[in-house]
Structure formats: structure tokens, C-alpha cells
Structure 1
Amino acid sequence: MKALVHAGKTGMEGLAYRDFEKPEPGAGEVRVKLKIAGLNHRELIILERHKETEPPLVMGSDGAGVIDAIGEGVAGVKAGDEVIINPGVGWKEKSDAPPPGFDIIGHPFQGTFGEYIVIPAENALPKPSFLTWEEAGVVAVAGLTAYRVLFTRAKIGEGMKILIPGIGGGVATLMLQMAKAAGATVYVTSRSEEKCKSALDLGADKAFNSDNDWAEELGGEKMDVVIESVGAATFNKSLSQLRPGGTIVTFGASAGDVVDFNLRSFFYGQYNLLGSTLGSGEELGEMLKFIERHGVRPVIDRMFALEEYKEAFDRIEKAEQLGKIGFIIE
């Protein structure tokens, strides 16, 4: 099969579109012939995390396609079923944190950036009929991450005020739509005037330039929840916008992962600091039901052929996208 494989060197130099052995399903597994795969910021991290001494790796955590082979003992799915892939392996039920042994497709397991992938049968979910193939192939990682942050961790609800710094990526755009569907008031920031305008079109109550004075832009209003994925560059600005007793949830650190903040001010403010990453299979099912009920769809930025991977990776590394970037596999 053809696949996007990382091997031999760290970083982009180790990435190549080439022939790779077609996998065969074992007991309890299915093979999926992929139609669409989604590119996430996680892949930029994997480019550095996957070392040259490790076996060649097909990257990619998001995907949708058709089951074309099943292994021994598989029940409940069959060849010909249209499915989306649950990217998390070993985290079935909602819990405070992932259980021991939890991992994500695309590292250390072989991923979705190829014509075929073998996964545990339980990780193949029926493709929602309300989503196009393009939407289904890019929704799992971003949608699951957004859902757990908002509802499992932050426990947002109607009338709450939410701030999402750095709008633009797939998680943030889905988060905006989900929070609005739940009845929250949502504010967002971006350095891009175009992304601010697009966020307003998606339902944001206010969108403003990240370089401006946040307190002034918010008119002195304090937030119930701030969702942090930028990291060191914005963390303290985010923290300063919380009401006493408010919650900040962090799930990313694209602009620095080491933060200094005033601990005394933090505990006097009675603030809550929560971490989150991806989510369980149970939450993925809840997320899909939620977006169907509320008519939420992932925003598609651009679709690329898999051999156009350099352009796609460059676009996400420069944060030029609004919504999700995907690969057309067939």
C-alpha cells in the first residue's frame, strides 16, 4: 500500500510518501480501507517524538473508511461497514484520567496516513450518516478533545461565560460551536482578522485581536471558564480574565509548555486549574450524539492528496488553517 511513513530521521526529513507493507488483521481486529484522514497538531509533535532508531511509523490519528477484512473472533462489525476510527486505544469508559496502557493511534501504533489500517474492532464506530466522508474523517480527535474539555472537565452549561484564546484550529472551532450549542456566551481571540470574522460567523459573541488589551476588550467582564491551548504565551493573560472561583482548562502548549504564575494570587482567587487530553470511547459516542442533535459540523479548512503532505504540514505548522486539514486517501 501507499502510506506517509516516518523513519530514519527526526522531523520532516524523516517523512516520506512511499510503499509500505499492507497490514493483516489479527484476532479481535479489523482492517479499514481509508477514504479520509485528518491532520492534527499532534503530528508535529510526533515528528520529533518518533526517533530514528524506532521502526518505521505510519503517522495519523484521525480517519474514516470502509472495513474490508476482519480477524478471528470479531462480532458486531463486518466487511463493507462504513466506519470512523476511535483514535484512543485502551480507554473505554469515562474516568478522571486515562487508565494504564492507554495510547493513541499514529504513535506508538501505526496510523491513518495510508491506504489501510488495522485497529481493534471496538475502535471502529459506525460512520454517522449526517457527516460527509470529509467531516467524518477529521472529527474524532478534535471533537473528542473539545467535548471532554467542555463537558467532562469544565462542566460548562447555559449562561456561562467562556473564553477561547487562539481560535482557528480544529479543536477550538468545534469547541466554539459546542459551547454555543450548550447555551454559553463565548469570546475568542486571534491575531488574524480573518479568523476573528470567521469565528463571529460560527456564533462567537465577541472576537478580538490577541495582541489587544484583553480586559479592555472584554469590558471588565470576568469569565467562568477559560480554555487554554496556546501555552506560555497566553496563560497568565488567560488566568487574569477568570472570575474568583473560575476554571482554566489546558489541553495544549503550542507556544511554550513551561509557565510561571503567582501561586498566592491563584489560591486567594480560589481558581481551578484542570488538564485534559483526548477522551474515552464513551465520550466519543456522547460527542457524536451531541453534534448530531445540535447540527454541529467540523469546519473543513483544506483537503490535500496524501502526496501533498509537505504543503499540509507547512500549513498547520504556521497555524494558517481555520478548522480541520484532511488528506484524501482514495
Structure 2
Amino acid sequence: MKAAILKQLDSPLVLESGDDLIASDHEVVVQLNAAALNRRDFWISQGMYPGIQLPSILGSDGAGVVSKTNDSPSASWLGREVIINPGWNWGDNPAAQSEAFKILGMPVNGTFATHVQVPAKYLHEKPSHLSFVEAAALPLAGMTAYRALFTQGRLQPGEKVLISGIGGGVATFALQFACAAGAEVIVTSSSSEKIEKAIRYGAKHGYDYNATDWVGEANTQFGPVNLIIDSAGGAGYRGLLDLAAPGGRIVNYGATAGPPPKLDLFKVFWKQLHLIGSTMGSPDDFAAMLQFVNEHKIKPIIDETLPLAAVNEAIEKMRRSTQFGKITLDCRD
């Protein structure tokens, strides 16, 4: 097999050949056709993630064909086209992950490789309407978006939704899923190009979050929103409180801009707002996300597909945040 290995923090990944993987009990080996990047991979490479263990093969998302099994329970997967649920050991509580929860791709070797070894219970059939590249783009970001919108955000048809910072994988999936569910969606970005692309994919309007009064403009043009999906936090969080409708929900799946410098609790309680945290998802969330994708024939938005050997170029692109949709890798040897 070949794999792109992170050996030192803030250093390029190294593509190396290694021994063929062996399927242990209740596990399989998947020969990967494609993988996808997530912001998590970039944070790990920069040393900005808890519990980093090196050397490690990054990558949480992958799609391919099961090439090896080891026991009768997993034998039925042999030769089948699959995608992998990257969230392991969620636990019995659907409301939150257990302390044993972990994500494929550090410390468990991940999908920036030609092959990956995974427990059979985390396999799912690849949606038939998706290519391997499209399927590889789906798992982590798709599950995160689905849980934020539906499990935590309780989105209903006809509601108004704001998705902040459009462009990344979770945000673009949230746009696609919300539109498919019958919501009216607006987005924010500092890039007019990304806003224009979001409108082509179903957004009603987009706003530059660096503009002085984008919240007032959005309120006038679109009205207060029922559900806000945000990954930034930071100083802009105050505007989200202003834009939220009475009884509205704000779901955060990240805080890339840090904590809000001031949280106006008067607005929170007077407007009866619900501030909700969300991350990744349970096995039930993953299965429901796949069912939703199959039902609506949703195809992930792919920004670019690069060969596995160009993984460092892909990580650099994620550093610059210029992508709209998912950055994917062709893992075929």
C-alpha cells in the first residue's frame, strides 16, 4: 500500500510505500478509490488539535471497494462498493458522544492512502448515484451538516435558515440539505464569488459579513431567521443574535473565530433563543444522512480532485480557504 504520512507537525506529509494491510477479526480492508479533506486534517498538521500522535495517516473520509475480510460476519462485504462512517465509539447516548469517541484519521490511520483497515460495522453501501469521488466527499462533513440541521436544529419545511461562512464542506452540505428540505436559505461570506455560487445552488441571497450593516440589510430583505448554522463564533456572533427570530435556534459546530467577546444574554432570554452545540453525529445520524442523500439524489459539491501524491497541495488550498465545496483525492495506485 501507499500512504501520505504526517511525521512532523507543520511539515509536509510524506508519501511512502508500506506493507499490505491485513483484516483482523470483525474488520475489513478497503481499497480506496477516493478520499476527502476536512478542516480537521489541516488543524492536526499544524499541531492545533488535541491528542495528536505521530506518525499518523490523516484522512477521515473515503470510498472504495472491500478487498479483504477475516471472518464470517464481515465476509458479506467482500467486493462491495462502500463509504466509511468516520465517527467511532459514539456510545449509547444519542444526545452526545461518549468519552471513547474517536474519528478516523489520527490516532487511527486514515484514508490518505490506497488502503485503510476499518471495523466492518462502520461500513455503508456507497450511494449508487454517486461516483467514488462524490461518495468520499460525503461522510464527515455530510454527517456534521445533517446533525446540525435536523437532529439539533430541528429544521422544518418552509423555515428561514442562515448558513454563515459558505464555502467549506459542512456549510455547502448544509445549503444543499436545507434547500432539499424545503427551507429558504441565505448565506454569508467575505467572497462575492462564493456568494454567487451559493445562489446557483439554491440560496435566496448572500451577504458580506464584513459589511457594516449586513444584519440590518438581511432583516429588511429576508426577515428574521428561524435557524442559524454557524461555525465561526467570534465578534460576528452578536449579529446572529440580532438576526434570529423570536424562539429561533443557533447551532454552532465550530468556533474558528474564537469565542464571542460579549454575549448579550438579555437578547438570548428575551427573544427565547436556543443556543445549541453540535459536532459530527451518531450512527443513527449517519444512516439518516445517507437515506436523505439517496432520497433527494444529492451530489456533493466538489471543488477539486487531486492525486494522492499532491496531498500537500490540497492541504495548502485548505489553509487559504479558497475552496467552494470539498477538496478530494484520487487514491487509486
Displacement, 1:91? 2.5
What are the equivalent positions in structure 2 for 1:103-114 lying under 5 Å apart?
Answer: 103-114=102-113
**Partner Cα separation in structure 2 for residue 216 and residue 140 of structure 1:** 36
Q: Is the 8 A contact 2:69 2:75 kept in 1?
A: no
Aligned residue type for 1:312: A
Question: Which of 44, 47, 71 does residue 46 from structure 1 map onto?
Answer: 44
The DSSP-based 3-state class of the residue aligned with 1:117 is strand
Displacement, 1:71? 2.1
What are the equivalent positions in structure 2 for 1:207-218 lying under 5 Å apart?
Answer: 207-212=206-211, 213-218=213-218
Displacement, 1:219? 3.6
Q: Is the 8 A contact 1:77 1:121 kept in 2?
A: no
Q: Is the 8 A contact 1:57 1:107 kept in 2?
A: yes
Displacement, 1:307? 1.3
Aligned residue type for 2:233: G
Aligned residue type for 1:216: G
Find out whether 1:58 has 2:57 as its counterpart.
yes
Question: Which of 243, 255, 262 does residue 245 from structure 2 map onto?
Answer: 243
Q: TM-score, normalised by structure 1?
A: 0.94
Segments ≥4 residues shifted beyond 6 Å: 50-53
Displacement, 1:49? 4.7
What are the equivalent positions in structure 2 for 1:311-326 lying under 5 Å apart?
Answer: 311-326=313-328
Decide whether aligned partners of structure 1 residues 215 and 14 sit closer, same or farther in structure 2, where only a CA change above 3 A counts: closer
Identity of aligned residues (%): 38
The DSSP-based 3-state class of the residue aligned with 1:162 is strand
Aligned to 1:280: 282
Displacement, 1:268? 2.4
Question: Which of 32, 35, 40 does residue 34 from structure 1 map onto?
Answer: 32
**Partner Cα separation in structure 2 for residue 73 and residue 261 of structure 1:** 55
Aligned to 1:5: 5
The aligned length equals 328
Q: Is the 8 A contact 2:53 2:107 kept in 1?
A: no
Q: Is the 8 A contact 1:128 1:136 kept in 2?
A: yes
Aligned residue type for 1:328: D
Aligned residue type for 1:302: E
Of the structure 1 ranges 148-157 and 65-74, higher mean CA displacement relative to structure 2 is found in 65-74
Decide whether aligned partners of structure 1 residues 94 and 297 sit closer, same or farther in structure 2, where only a CA change above 3 A counts: farther
Question: Which of 256, 259, 262 does residue 254 from structure 1 map onto?
Answer: 256
What are the equivalent positions in structure 2 for 1:110-149 lying under 5 Å apart?
Answer: 110-149=109-148
**Partner Cα separation in structure 1 for residue 92 and residue 124 of structure 2:** 15
User: Could you report, residue by residue, the CA deviation over 1:105-137 in whole angstroms, capped at 9, with x for unpaired residues?
Assistant: 002211000111100001111111111111011
Question: Which of 277, 298, 301 does residue 300 from structure 2 map onto?
Answer: 298
Structure 2: any 5+ residue segments left out of the alignment?
none
**Partner Cα separation in structure 1 for residue 23 and residue 92 of structure 2:** 24
Structure 1: any 5+ residue segments left out of the alignment?
none
**Partner Cα separation in structure 2 for residue 10 and residue 109 of structure 1:** 17
Aligned to 1:165: 164
CA RMSD of aligned residues (A): 2.0
Q: Is the 8 A contact 2:4 2:15 kept in 1?
A: yes
Decide whether aligned partners of structure 1 residues 177 and 78 sit closer, same or farther in structure 2, where only a CA change above 3 A counts: closer
User: Could you report, residue by residue, the CA deviation over 1:35-91 in whole angstroms, capped at 9, with x for unpaired residues?
Assistant: 100001111122215799934110000000111111235336332111101101113
Displacement, 1:259? 4.5
Aligned residue type for 1:298: P
Find out whether 1:95 has 2:88 as its counterpart.
no
The DSSP-based 3-state class of the residue aligned with 1:301 is strand
Q: TM-score, normalised by structure 2?
A: 0.93
User: Could you report, residue by residue, the CA deviation over 1:181-233 in whole angstroms, capped at 9, with x for unpaired residues?
Assistant: 11111110111111111111101011122222222321432111111112214
Find out whether 1:226 has 2:228 as its counterpart.
yes
Decide whether aligned partners of structure 1 residues 262 and 50 sit closer, same or farther in structure 2, where only a CA change above 3 A counts: closer
